[in-house]
Amino acid sequence: MSIEVLLVDEDRDVLEIVQTFLEQEDDLDVTSEADPESALELALTGDYDVVVSDYKMPRLDGLELCAALRDRDRPLPFLLFSAREPEDVQPAAADAGVTGFVQKGTGTEQYSVLADKIRAAT
């Protein structure tokens, strides 16, 4: 059975790359959304197992997206996938109800780490 992942990032190129790598895993099925407000609606109405979101996005950042889900009693696991340093984000992330954090980087090992975190969160 596949894990349904909602992937959110305003950068469509990043969405495409991350989705490609995650879908190489047999158990992950990824839906991508570049607009965080649309992603909120998808997360509230769709049948997703986990949300993976960038931190810095226009109109609604990753922490605000997570907090909006929590405010609506949607207890989906929520992972931040961000280039920010973990210590810069984690206190506010914990307050927003974020489940985990994976730092974006160069190379492809970050995608394996992200896939493992997705599995562990669901």
Q: Model confidence over 44-89: pLDDT tens digits?
A: 999 999 999 999 998 899 999 999 999 998 889 999 998 888 888 8
Q: Model confidence over 11-28: pLDDT tens digits?
A: 999 999 999 999 999 999
What fold does the segment set 3-121 form as a domain? Answer: Rossmann fold (3.40.50)
Residue 33: its pLDDT value, please? Answer: 97
Q: Please answer whether residues 64 and 54 qualify as being in contact, where contact means their C-beta atoms are separated by less than 8 angstroms.
A: no
Residue 86: its pLDDT value, please? Answer: 80
Domain boundaries, the chain: 3-121
